[in-house]
Amino acid sequence: MTLRIFLPLLFGFVMFTQNGIAQTQKKQNTQLVKFGKNVDAPLTAQELSMIKEVYQDKLDAYVLSKPQKVKNLKHLLRNRIVIKEITNLKDDDKYTLLSEVELFDIYNPSLKRDVAFNKSTFNPLKYNLEFYRMGSIIYKIDGTNFFIIIKPQTYKK
């Protein structure tokens, strides 16, 4: 008899405490992305080429026909991705190597990794980098002193 009463009470207590914990976890506040005025300018030939390399025949349907997607990509390429050479960095082995990042080849299965790094022709969109995480992230380009720095979309005030 006491077991029949005890088990439902125990179950209810466990469910109650779990609900209390779930309700007290903080949620991330979303912020509006503030775009610079430079995203109003049309895509450059180089930017369009980078996007086309990744999206191929889906370029119009998935990118160019969606003004917000175009704006997001311009903001990413113009304001948030920085490729910087850092020669005196210690502990550079703590950064994720570009070779460890998967290719973003969903729309272009024939996409290939760069054999050698060339800053002027490098296309960061080819890689499945964490463009939309909270905070900045840094990747090291294998065999070089170059790093890809991805700035966050929004900054806390």
pLDDT band of 18, cuts 50, 70, 90: low
The 8-class DSSP code of residue 57 comes to: G
| Distance separating alpha carbons of residues 91 and 142, to the nearest angstrom | 14
pLDDT of residue 80: 96
pLDDT of residue 93: 79
pLDDT top residue among 157 and 81: 81
Q: CB 96: neighbour CB atoms within 10 A? A: 14
Cβ atoms of 130 and 61 within 8 Å: the answer is: no
Return all residues near 64 (Cβ < 8 A) that are at least 6 apart.
70
Please say if the pLDDT value at position 72 is more than 90.
yes
Q: Where are the domains of the chain?
A: 32-150
**HEC-encoded secondary structure of 94-105:** HCEEHHHCCECC
* Alpha-helix runs per DSSP H in the chain: 2-24, 45-55, 59, 67-75
Three-state DSSP class for residue 82:
strand
Whole-prediction pTM value?
A: 0.76
